[in-house]
Amino acid sequence: MTHQIETLQRFIDEAEKIVFFGGAGVSTESGLPDYRSNTGTYTELERQQLDPKKIMSKRYLLNYPEKFFNRPNTRKKTEVPKPNAAHLYLAELEKQGKDVRIITQNVDGLHQAAGSKLVVELHGNNRHFHCMECGREYKLNEIQRDEQNIPRCPIDNGIIRADVILFGENLKPGILDRAKELMASSDLLIIAGTSLTVNPSKNLIRYFKGKRVVVINKTPLTIDLPVDLAIEDAVGKVFQQLTV
């Protein structure tokens, strides 16, 4: 066990309330792509001279639904992502009685699949769906698609979309306040797998008033808070070396 891992283990053991603030890099070891790395979803769109903020917006969805729902996917649809070492460790830590609060920018539900009970999903989720016309809710296996591969409501032919926050949309009421509350009342903040470049998520860390800040990311971050420990490595790899 390296000195950095030993220090992280000590921080976790000594903390009473841990807030884990995670981004796409938390799920890459589960087979999901991140956004802003060299092979990320946003980076790939930019290589094609496309603006991610335009392509992944509500306006684009409404104006060009066929293009929106037929974007190339870097992951085969038959693959089912599973929680990795990071998700499993945090869930087990909570199961053993540690107060672990998770604030995630991800929509994949892997924290819940691992067993975590307190998860705030800032950007919604890709597990629940609704019709944009009538609001009817659908499960994934209930969705019917038309000849252009656009998911349609059988009642009014409205577009069915996932409950994911797209560019240009506001977070759901209460979500940001809940995240601020959890951030402000924790004594250890672990920032993992995120570039901290998206608002309002990146401003959440300013509400942390606790004792220690840890950053786990493959690339260095410049943040407004003093950092007590910075580990440049894959998130799951780091948590795999810890003990509950």
Domains of the chain: 1-32+80-123+170-244 (3.40.50.1220), 35-74 (no CATH), 127-164 (no CATH)
Of 3, 111, 123, 130, the catalytic one is 123
pLDDT at residue number 42? 67
What is the pLDDT, as a whole number, of residue 40? Answer: 66
Q: How far, in Å, CA of 221 to CA of 205, rounded? A: 13
What's the pTM value of the predicted model, to 2 decimals? 0.90
The per-residue pLDDT for 9 is 98
Q: What are phi and psi of 189, to 5 degrees?
A: -110, 125
d(CA 208, CA 215): 14
Report pLDDT for 51.
85
Question: For position 224, what pLDDT does the model report?
Answer: 83
Q: Which of 208, 210, 214, 205 is nearest to 10 (CA)?
A: 214
CA–centroid distance for 37 within its chain: 15
The pLDDT score that the predictor gives to residue 172 is: 87
Sequence-distant contacts of 41-47: CB under 8 A, at least 24 apart: 41/74, 44/74
**Is 87 a known active-site residue?**
no
Mean pLDDT of each 10-residue bin along the chain, 244 residues long: 95 98 96 71 71 90 95 58 97 98 97 98 96 97 96 98 93 93 98 88 92 96 92 97 96
